[in-house]
Amino acid sequence: MPQTVGKYDGLSDPDDHLNLFKSAGEVACWPMPLWCKIFVQTLVGAARVWWDSLPVGEIDSFEDLVSKFQLQFSQQRRYTKDRNELLHIRRRDNETVESFIVRFNKESLAIPGITNDLACGTFLQGVNDDELLKTLYGRDGVPSTIDEILRIAKVYVTQEKTVAASHAANRKNEAQKSQDDREQRNSKGKKSDRSDS
């Protein structure tokens, strides 16, 4: 049994476990009569208790086992978002553009069936950063793929960070120079006070 299949305890999405198991069976070319017997070896905890409670002869085939398994553990299935939920992904107040890009990617990957056009339009609508939008619209218009839009947005974020770091370093240098100038003036003032006495 490949370690990628793992054990199923009834507490996670049953479809994930089934997909891993089926992939392993197909790669290993297990004969179909063995699939049920091998599958049972992956069950632990509550899932094993469920299996052990089935009456003898209850399962006729692997497809029958899959059907009963999915029905038993259906409440553990991951919630699948609707494509329309993508339209609600907007940059939050005080959220950096970088954080928005990461969140947009993560949330859009969790929604099946998103078209390139929908992803592009939603990102442009939700990013809420005028300078980035000017960069994206550019001379040639908005890129046609979400991958290109995100690539440009990441370059923009990197440039913004570099500029911000440079400004911070300049402010720090200016503050240090001002401090040095004050200290130098104070030390000259103290020397002239001493020479007057």
3-class SS of residue 8: strand
Q: Which residues are paired to 8 by β-bridges?
A: 43
Question: Where in the sequence is the domain holding 97, given as residue range(s)?
Answer: 83-193
Of the candidate ranges 30-44, 62-76, 179-193, the one whose mean pLDDT is the lowest: 179-193
Number of domains in the chain: 2
User: Residue 81 contacts by C-beta under 8 Å, 6 or more apart in sequence?
Assistant: 107, 110, 111
Predicted local distance difference test score (pLDDT) of residue 62: 92
Model-level pTM?
0.53
Neighbours of 184 (CB within 10 A): 10
Last residue of a domain, one of 76, 91, 110: 76
Alpha-carbon radius of gyration of the chain: 31
* pLDDT above 70 for 194: no
* pLDDT above 70 for 88: yes
Are 126 and 180 in the same domain? Answer: yes
